[in-house]
């Protein structure tokens, strides 16, 4: 019974890592709270695990890998900068916010091992992402027809007269990054000779959904991720990737544009043209954020200035706002790490991504199981996508990243529990 409860709560944690729209809020007089579903699952998992250990009569320890240590160091770099360079209680609380995500990683890693859930969790991950993609496409069509905002789209992501898919996340960038990572994970399987047609169709639909999020960073990241897959994949997969790219570029897209309603084409062209616009909208906000981040780095280059400590207020003619909508938020991981944790924190994060990408590629070369080989190549490509795309929207503040890494590292652990 207790084991089943822990499984359920862990599945809730995985599913809720895709959801950024809904929160559990309550105001009970002197006590009020506003929890994400991932935080709720985490809170409930703690006492359940304690009872589980008591019932077992022992605690099985998990040997730390280099990836685990680097994720711990990421938290410590935030804590050190917030305590010793900032000293502001708000920044220290933000550093412990990082700890909550790190705990999601370690609890997920531990449960995947002791409950032997590696394959099951990947199936759940793919299933939830499938729902997210189709929900986003439905929301896009609904918003396009009604020209009204709804929970699954953003009508003001980049201007223009067409919505951007965000599905159940809080912004299109995050939806595109999550879906892009899942596409990368699937891609080595999609081009196999015996690949299921449904898997190929689902992957193509996911790519269309990413396109309709109008997210520049993921467009570019997918190109590099696919190049990585093409570089390491066998000749059959390389040939099929090339054929697929030709079909999309010269047959599918022109056919759609020819038969689509003229208004639809005009709006998509208008929206797509805004993708190259760096003088207003989200691109301008990011340039302003980079400027703020570099100024902060110059002030404190070694340890940084503290977690979420940037003064991101921008003064317009008659009002003030935050450059990325949230106090301290600098939109991208690299500029955020540079400002908040200095060179030390930036090196830790960079080395973490490097180890994840290289580690997966090494396992791909040595693995004898064909399915696991494809999985390692997919994980390497997904981490490359995360590495590039996080420049536009930091993935270190979303539960999905830590759940995804926990699954990935579970396949690379040298010693199981």
Q: Which helix (H) or strand (E) holds 153?
A: strand 153-154
The residues, ordered by sequence, that sit 6+ positions from 129 with a Cβ below 8 Å of its Cβ are 18, 178, 179, 182, 206
Last residue of a domain, one of 257, 277, 297: 277
pLDDT at 115: 87
Assigned domain for 21 exists? no
- The residue among 68, 74, 123 whose CA lies nearest residue 98 is 74
Residues 219 and 76 in one domain: no
pLDDT at 77: 93
Residues 82 and 67 in one domain: yes
Assigned domain for 311 exists? yes
Show pLDDT as tens, one digit a residue, over the chain (417 residues).
788 888 888 898 888 888 765 666 555 555 555 677 787 788 888 888 888 888 777 777 788 899 999 999 999 999 999 998 877 888 888 888 899 899 999 999 999 988 888 889 999 999 999 999 999 999 998 887 777 777 888 876 555 557 889 998 888 888 999 999 999 998 887 766 566 677 778 888 998 899 888 887 888 899 889 888 888 876 656 656 655 655 555 555 555 555 444 555 555 555 555 555 545 555 556 677 777 888 888 888 898 998 888 776 554 444 444 555 566 777 788 888 988 999 999 999 999 999 999 999 999 989 888 888 889 999 999 999 999 998 877 788 888 999 999 999 999 986 666
Report how far residue 276's alpha carbon sits from residue 220's, in angstroms, rounded to the nearest whole number: 12
Residues 152 and 258 in one domain: yes
Domains of the chain: total: 2
- CB of 251 within 8 A of CB of 410? no
Assigned domain for 28 exists? no
Residues 68 and 136 in one domain: no
Q: DSSP letter string over 290-345?
A: HHHHHHHHHHSTTT-S-TT----EEE-SS-EEETTSSTT--SSHHHHHHHHHHHHH
Assigned domain for 44 exists? no
Residues 294 and 400 in one domain: yes
pLDDT at 387: 94
Residues 216 and 302 in one domain: no
The residues, ordered by sequence, that sit 6+ positions from 384 with a Cβ below 8 Å of its Cβ are 184, 221, 224, 225, 228, 357
Report how far residue 168's alpha carbon sits from residue 210's, in angstroms, rounded to the nearest whole number: 14
Residues 81 and 189 in one domain: no
Residues 270 and 307 in one domain: no
Report how far residue 346's alpha carbon sits from residue 344's, in angstroms, rounded to the nearest whole number: 6
- CB of 172 within 8 A of CB of 391? no
In the numeric block, which tokens belong to residue 181? 């990572």
Last residue of a domain, one of 222, 242, 277: 277
- CB of 360 within 8 A of CB of 408? yes
Residues 181 and 72 in one domain: no
Assigned domain for 104 exists? yes
In the numeric block, which tokens belong to residue 203? 């992957």
Last residue of a domain, one of 232, 262, 277: 277
Residues 317 and 235 in one domain: no
**Residue range(s) defining the domain that contains residue 67:** 60-116+280-417
Residues 292 and 259 in one domain: no
Q: Considering the entire predicted model, what is its pTM?
A: 0.86
The residues, ordered by sequence, that sit 6+ positions from 322 with a Cβ below 8 Å of its Cβ are 312, 313, 314, 329
Report how far residue 125's alpha carbon sits from residue 357's, in angstroms, rounded to the nearest whole number: 20
pLDDT at 415: 63
In the numeric block, which tokens belong to residue 326? 């949230």
Assigned domain for 49 exists? no
Assigned domain for 53 exists? no
Report how far residue 360's alpha carbon sits from residue 69's, in angstroms, rounded to the nearest whole number: 17
Residues 323 and 255 in one domain: no
Assigned domain for 138 exists? yes
The residues, ordered by sequence, that sit 6+ positions from 348 with a Cβ below 8 Å of its Cβ are 70, 73, 74, 77, 341
């Amino acid at each position: 019974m207790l084991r089943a409860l822990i499984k359920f709560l862990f599945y809730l944690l995985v599913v809720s890592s895709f959801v950024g729209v809904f929160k559990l809020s309550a105001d009970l007089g002197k006590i009020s709270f506003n929890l994400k579903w991932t935080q709720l699952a985490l809170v409930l998992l703690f006492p359940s695990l304690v009872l589980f250990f008591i019932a077992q009569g022992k605690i099985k320890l998990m040997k730390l890998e280099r990836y685990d240590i680097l994720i711990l160091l990421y938290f410590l770099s935030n804590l050190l900068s917030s305590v010793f360079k900032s000293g502001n209680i708000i920044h220290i609380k933000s550093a412990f916010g990082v700890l909550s995500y790190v705990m999601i990683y370690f609890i997920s890693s531990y449960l995947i091992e002791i409950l032997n859930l590696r394959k099951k969790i990947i199936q759940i991950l793919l299933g939830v992402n499938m729902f997210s993609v189709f929900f986003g496409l439905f929301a896009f069509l609904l918003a396009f027809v009604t020209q009204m905002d709804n929970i699954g789209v953003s009508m003001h992501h980049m201007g223009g007269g067409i919505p951007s898919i965000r599905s159940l996340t809080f912004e299109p960038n995050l939806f595109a990054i999550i879906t892009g990572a899942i596409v990368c994970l699937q891609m080595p399987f999609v081009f196999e000779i015996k690949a299921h047609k449904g898997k190929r169709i689902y992957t193509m639909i996911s790519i269309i959904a990413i396109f309709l999020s109008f997210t520049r960073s993921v467009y570019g990241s997918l190109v590099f991720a696919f190049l990585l897959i093409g570089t390491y994949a066998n000749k059959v997969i390389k040939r099929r990737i090339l054929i697929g790219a030709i079909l999309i570029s010269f047959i599918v897209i022109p056919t759609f544009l020819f038969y689509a309603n003229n208004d639809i084409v005009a709006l998509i062209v208008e929206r797509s043209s805004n993708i190259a616009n760096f003088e207003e909208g989200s691109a301008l906000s990011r340039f302003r954020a980079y400027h703020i981040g570099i100024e902060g780095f110059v002030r404190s280059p070694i340890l940084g200035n503290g977690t979420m400590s940037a003064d991101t207020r921008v003064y317009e003619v008659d009002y003030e706002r935050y450059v990325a909508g949230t106090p301290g938020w600098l939109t991208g991981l690299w500029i955020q790490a540079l400002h908040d944790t200095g060179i030390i924190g930036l090196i830790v994060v960079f080395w973490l991504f490097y180890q994840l990408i290289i580690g997966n590629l090494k396992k791909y070369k040595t693995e004898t199981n064909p399915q696991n080989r494809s999985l390692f190549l997919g994980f390497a490509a997904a981490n490359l996508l995360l590495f590039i795309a996080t420049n536009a929207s930091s993935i270190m503040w979303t539960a999905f990243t830590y759940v995804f890494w926990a699954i990935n590292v579970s396949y690379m652990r040298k010693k199981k529990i």
